[in-house]
Amino acid sequence: MMELTQKYIELCGVKIYCEYSFVDNRPPLLLIHGVAATLYTFNSLIPLLKDHFSIINIDLPGFGRSEKSSSFIYSFQNYAEVVAACIDYFKLENVNIVGHSMGGQIALYTTNMVPEKINKLVLVSSSGYLKRANKAIILCTYLPFFGYFVKHHVHKQEVKDVLKNVFYDHSLITENHIREFGMPLEEKGFYTSLKRLLRYREGDLSRDDLKTIDKPTLLLWGKEDRVVSYTIGERLAEDLPNAKLITYEKAGHLLTEERPHEVFKDISGFIL
């Protein structure tokens, strides 16, 4: 089984960490994680995918091993610019994007930006219909102590308790999960990125915007998702012109780790 190549590349002036493997005649699959996560989101899925797809898995700016820039504007539009630049860097065509949580919204922004480069979308527990933070909170992000407030708020819960919120079956949570998802929380730059994301993040795409995205789209949702309710998936299925929703019983937000074999089967059946 081919191992993924690990590499830092510069995209849009930011140092990005990525892992990838390319095999001729295998369709490209670009993976985008969600907020406060890393490319580890797809850890259990990649061994299943990489014998059938060319894989590009990236840490978004501000997360994982990518640069925690204090000048990058952490907006969905700029994240989409980074993803589009990644597609150009690897000279990809007819790209399929898998986006988890916030990564799903970034996938939609990217498709809106460069539709000619996108083949199909898989949105896993995707964010949707969120408004921009209110003006009072945005103003607070400019206060010098606000980063400490964000850090205090994040650390109010143990990592295992946070994971219990994204797994339906708590018995599946491993020490590896606790270590990998807890590691970014120890980096000082992470809180700068989170603060700037809160400041600059636009609202999610509107219904009118969604209705213009006609790419074939697969929506995958856990029925017990406590982070983004499956009712958001139902709304997206109505507003996206060419979308299909699959829900998983007794499953939570982190489907890629909780139900990797079923997710792989559904992705493969949709794209291949």
What positions carry a catalytic annotation? 101, 253
| 3-state SS, one letter per residue, for the chain | CCCCEEEEEEECCEEEEEEEECCCCCCEEEEECCCCCCHHHHCCCHHHHCCCCEEEEECCCCCCCCCCCCCCCCCHHHHHHHHHHHHHHCCCCCEEEEEECHHHHHHHHHHHHCHHHEEEEEEECCCCCCCCCCHHHHHHCCCCCHHHHHHHHHCCCCHHHHHHHHCCCHHHCCHHHHHHHHHHHHCHHHHHHHHHHHHHCCCCCCHHHHCCCCCCEEEEEECCCCCCCHHHHHHHHHHCCCEEEEEECCCCCCHHHHCHHHHHHHHHHHHC
